[in-house]
Structure 1
Amino acid sequence: MPALSVLLMDSFNYFKTHFIAFCILVLPFALITNGIALSFNEEDGSGKFFIYMLFILTIYPFYKGAILYYIAYSFDGRRVPFSQLYQIPAKTWFSFVLMNIILGLAVLTGFIALILPGLYLMARFSFTEIYCVLYKENSTDAIKLGWNDTKDNYWLLFKGLVIIFGLTTGLVWVSEYALGLLGLSSPVLSFIFSILEVILSMMNTIFIFRVFTINTTRLEEIQQIS
């Protein structure tokens, strides 16, 4: 088992190498969703927010699926048009949406109870999207497989994701807060920070994929089925 520092460095180097590609894949999603969010104001009712969440839930499988397929293909040295990467996840759209609704409710319940149960569930469900999108498992099987496969390396995932969160999302939040204290906050700056946060969050997906493929036979399986 590689050390956590090695896995984190591998993930960072991969992110750095493929940064432009990730921006091309992520920016359309980030610009649309954050642009809509920027239009909200305090007078908007819950109905508008509900429609916004449904919109995100609808397009998220295409965005996240494209990211996972890009990572899977790039590990094998293959190049696929970005437009095709968005089309492939359509086959698993329903299972992906249903799975994320179930997991979202479970993790939210964990956070409501206490923070630690929520973090625990997030780490234990780390592999579910890989099984749903790349292995084309239905939502129930993807959840079961993801849960079972994180049993032995839960702490590795947990610590890695916490570190990545602190160095990416956490740093973005602190920077935005600091600028706010200096009186430099604005909707435009908030929009820029939101976009940056989405791009940096790709480190989570890369790290999860890296841990998943510690067992090299899994990488071979993914290359055969994707």
Structure 2
Amino acid sequence: MNPIAILRDTWYFFSRHLGTLLPLCLPWIFLETLTQQQLSIAANTQQFAPWGMAAGLIFYPIYTASLLLYLDDFSDGREPRRIGELWRASLRLWPAFALLSALTSLLIFIGFSLMFLPGLYVMIKLAFAEVLLVRRGMGPIDAMRESFRLTGGHFFLLLTTLLAILAPTWLLETWIEQLRVDSPGYSMALSLLSGVLQLLLTVAAYRIFMLGPLREEA
């Protein structure tokens, strides 16, 4: 495996299934973005960060779990479930997924607050946690522990692949922050685009998991 092949496979899947992925994930990304935007208007800058993160924890588990469930159906050769069925299945996973998202976000935030590299290290080591929770039905703590173990032999592949996706996304988010006050409509559109681009992270991590740890165990 190499980063270029993973990025190519990720983009190929994403572009081929865009007609399903957008209606599957975009409504929840829109609700997440709208909620965060309204909170930023109602609160000052110091108050927005925790409330904005809380809004993300409400909607992010739904559309990310839906995407992972769809990837599971496709990878296992099953007939993909309808969007409503995927949403219902993701809502059943929501409590565990929300707890996992809160724990991983906290650890990554602490890592980035200390120095950039510890935060990046934690983010890479937890890259498989969401996949393990959805695909294997693990609890949040067990999924995090197993992700730390399974990423051991794939750290630099994950690092280069995810940075290739994150770098333009971070640049876009920085631009959005500069436009938030002056152009809320434009900011909303760019935030939606950023949210859709971050779906590539989930697809890439799932692809590496399927070609790496899952194949090695088989």
Q: Distance in 2 between matches of 1:177 and 1:37?
A: 12
Give the structure 2 partner of residue 34 of structure 1. Answer: 33
Give the structure 2 partner of residue 68 of structure 1. Answer: 68
Query: Which string of whole-angstrom CA distances, capped at 9 and with x for unpartnered residues, describes residues 22-56 of structure 1?
Result: 11112111211211222245662677875654443
Does the 8 Å CA contact 1:123/1:154 hold for their aligned counterparts? Answer: yes
Give the structure 2 partner of residue 201 of structure 1. Answer: 198
Residue 162, structure 1, aligned to residue 159, structure 2: no
CA 1:49 to 1:150, structure 2 compared with 1: closer, same or farther past 3 Å? closer
Q: Distance in 2 between matches of 1:126 and 1:9?
A: 19
Pairing partner for 1:213 from 210, 214, 218: 210
Residue 172, structure 1, aligned to residue 172, structure 2: yes
Output the amino acid matched with 1:121: V
Give the structure 1 partner of residue 102 of structure 2. Answer: 101
Q: Distance in 2 between matches of 1:200 and 1:143?
A: 24
CA 1:108 to 1:148, structure 2 compared with 1: closer, same or farther past 3 Å? same
Task: Give the structure with higher Rg (CA).
Answer: 1
Does the 8 Å CA contact 1:110/1:116 hold for their aligned counterparts? Answer: yes
Secondary structure of the residue that 1:205 maps to in structure 2? helix
Q: Distance in 2 between matches of 1:163 and 1:37?
A: 26
Give the structure 1 partner of residue 183 of structure 2. Answer: 186
Q: Distance in 2 between matches of 1:84 and 1:143?
A: 27
Q: Distance in 1 between matches of 2:186 and 2:48?
A: 23
Does the 8 Å CA contact 1:128/1:145 hold for their aligned counterparts? Answer: yes
Does the 8 Å CA contact 2:32/2:60 hold for their aligned counterparts? Answer: no
TM-score calculated relative to the size of structure 1? 0.83
1:134 to partner: Cα distance: 1.6
Q: Distance in 2 between matches of 1:106 and 1:216?
A: 23
Gaps of 5+ in 1: 222-226
CA 1:89 to 1:218, structure 2 compared with 1: closer, same or farther past 3 Å? farther
CA 1:218 to 1:66, structure 2 compared with 1: closer, same or farther past 3 Å? farther
Give the structure 2 partner of residue 140 of structure 1. Answer: 141
TM-score calculated relative to the size of structure 2? 0.86
Q: Percentage identity across aligned positions?
A: 23
Does the 8 Å CA contact 2:64/2:202 hold for their aligned counterparts? Answer: no
Give the structure 1 partner of residue 128 of structure 2. Answer: 127
Secondary structure of the residue that 1:152 maps to in structure 2? helix
Q: Distance in 2 between matches of 1:49 and 1:217?
A: 37
Give the structure 2 partner of residue 224 of structure 1. Answer: none
Q: Distance in 2 between matches of 1:170 and 1:52?
A: 17
**How many positions carry a matched residue from both structures?**
214
Does the 8 Å CA contact 1:125/1:147 hold for their aligned counterparts? Answer: yes
Please identify which structure carries the higher helix content. Answer: 2
Give the structure 2 partner of residue 22 of structure 1. Answer: 21
Q: Distance in 1 between matches of 2:48 and 2:111?
A: 27
Q: Distance in 2 between matches of 1:162 and 1:125?
A: 15
Q: Distance in 2 between matches of 1:25 and 1:220?
A: 31
Gaps of 5+ in 2: none
